[in-house]
Amino acid sequence: MRRRQRTPPGFVEPPGRLLSYVEADWLPLVDPAGYDPESYRNRGPDGPYGPPNWSFEAWRGQQAWNLFSRARLNWRDQYGWPGGLDLVELLQQTVRMRQAQL
């Protein structure tokens, strides 16, 4: 049985944008110059062909989610997380949030 960790003294509550994912908060932080459609095309002996398999909108949404997830982990490393979640528990919570969103 696992004991629940106490909230450490001087605990700082994370900002609301780290507690729940709202795409509109994170999309402006994604640099659109990072998308290269050539990286997402099928490859054949003569080089890339066909349309990209990963659209710009899907790529941008995934990059926004990655920024959100990384920000949560960085906050936890620096200040801790409500309920004393450790790294694995926070990752599990983040994955459950993503699965519920898809």
* Orientation angle between helical segments 56-79 and 87-101, nearest 10 degrees: 150
Give the range of the structural domain holding residue 63, as residue numbers without chain letter.
56-102
Q: How confident is the model at residue 48 (pLDDT cuts 50, 70, 90)?
A: confident
Q: Does some domain include residue 72?
A: yes
Q: Which residues contact 3 (CB under 8 A, 6 or more apart)?
A: none
Tell me what pLDDT residue 58 has: 95
Q: Does some domain include residue 12?
A: no
Split into its structural domains, the chain has a count of 1
Minimal CA–CA distance to 11: which of 81, 63, 95?
Answer: 81
Tell me what pLDDT residue 26 has: 97
Q: What is the pTM of this model?
A: 0.82
Q: How confident is the model at residue 12 (pLDDT cuts 50, 70, 90)?
A: confident
In the predicted model, is pLDDT for residue 8 greater than 80?
A: no
Q: Which residues contact 24 (CB under 8 A, 6 or more apart)?
A: none
Q: Does some domain include residue 62?
A: yes
